[in-house]
Amino acid sequence: MRFDVVTIFPEYLAVLDVSLLGRARREGLVDVHVHDLRDFTFDRHRTVDDTPYGGGAGMVMKPEPWALALEHVAAQGPVSPAPAESSSAEPGDRPVLLVPTPSGERFTQRFARELAGREHVAIACGRYEGIDERVFGWAEELFEVRLVSLGDYVLNGGEVAALAMIEAVGRLVPGVVGNPASLVEESHEDGLLEYPVYTKPADWRGRAVPPVLLSGDHGKVAAWRRAQQEERTRERRPDLWAAYDSED
């Protein structure tokens, strides 16, 4: 699977060289390319922003460097871009373009799973007050465009969100996580938060491991873990609990 990230801070993405994902890249399981948006400008100052029409604070990212950068990225990918006028084009025919923004749809584990099945994912990291809105409509010719938010808070730009999404999706690519069973038991995979975990020693600073975990009774352990998942979800995430409870 291939990721292309467009940003004015390519060095932000350097951490993708380390840990599990770094190994996955070296093994060729996940291919990540980072592009500097300023390479798609032609003025002496490599300008990527301008003042907003209608006035207001801050600067807006100019559309043309984005169009040139995204055309370049679409041409790189393993998926050939569908022609604009093709009526038979399915969303799956085009690469995905993720645009991190606090005004996007929520990025979830379900969405990460969906993306892990795609061959080519591009990410457009905006800064300042955002990217000229026309870019998103224009980009539909080349990409399935999804505006995505990590959560209800504001980051300085899309780079941290891009890192989070690449990690969440990349680790679902077969072979990236050594033991695939560990993916199944995680928080959010079954709509519940994960159960608590413990390791040796059984007594640590006066705190004991729950005795059921030492019982050797797999059925009892499984039931206890399920109950813990439900209790935690009910207490910590009433929103998830309501969705889970209504599925029964």
Largest CA distance in the chain: 71
Of 1-9, 85-93, 94-102, 194-202, the window that binds ligand ADE (rule: CB under 6 A) is: 94-102
Single residue of 102, 113, 138, 230 touching ligand ADE by CB under 6 A:
102
User: Residue 56 has which token pair?
Assistant: 């207001």
Q: Number of residues in contact with ligand ADE, rule: CB under 6 A?
A: 11
153 is an interface residue for ligand ADE by CB under 6 A:
yes
Indicate the Cα dihedral angle 197, 167, 145, 148, nearest 10°.
Answer: 50
Phi, psi for residue 142 in degrees, rounded to 5: -110, -25
Non-local CB neighbours of 214 within 8 Å, separated by 6+ positions: 202
Single residue of 154, 181, 184, 197 touching ligand ADE by CB under 6 A:
154
| Smallest separation (angstroms) from ligand ADE to the CB of 9 | 13
Residue 95 or 100: the one with the smaller Cβ distance to ligand ADE is 100
130 is an interface residue for ligand ADE by CB under 6 A:
no
98 is an interface residue for ligand ADE by CB under 6 A:
no
Single residue of 101, 141, 171, 192 touching ligand ADE by CB under 6 A:
101
- Confirm or deny that 151 is annotated as ligand binding: yes
Residues 159-198 that bind ligand ADE (CB under 6 A): 161
Residue 1 or 161: the one with the smaller Cβ distance to ligand ADE is 161
Which ranges of the chain does DSSP label H, i.e. alpha helix? 19-26, 63-76, 109-116, 134-139, 159-170, 181-184, 218-236, 238-245
Angle 23-26-27 from CA coordinates, rounded to 5°: 85
151 is an interface residue for ligand ADE by CB under 6 A:
yes
Query: Contact at 8 Å (CB) between 134 and 76?
Result: no
- Confirm or deny that 117 is annotated as ligand binding: no
Query: Per 3-state DSSP, what percentage of the chain is helix, strand, and coil (rounded to 5)?
Result: 40, 15, 45
Helix axes 238-245, 218-236, angle to 10 degrees: 120
158 is an interface residue for ligand ADE by CB under 6 A:
yes
Contacts to ligand ADE by CB under 6 A: 100-102, 149-151, 153-155, 158, 161
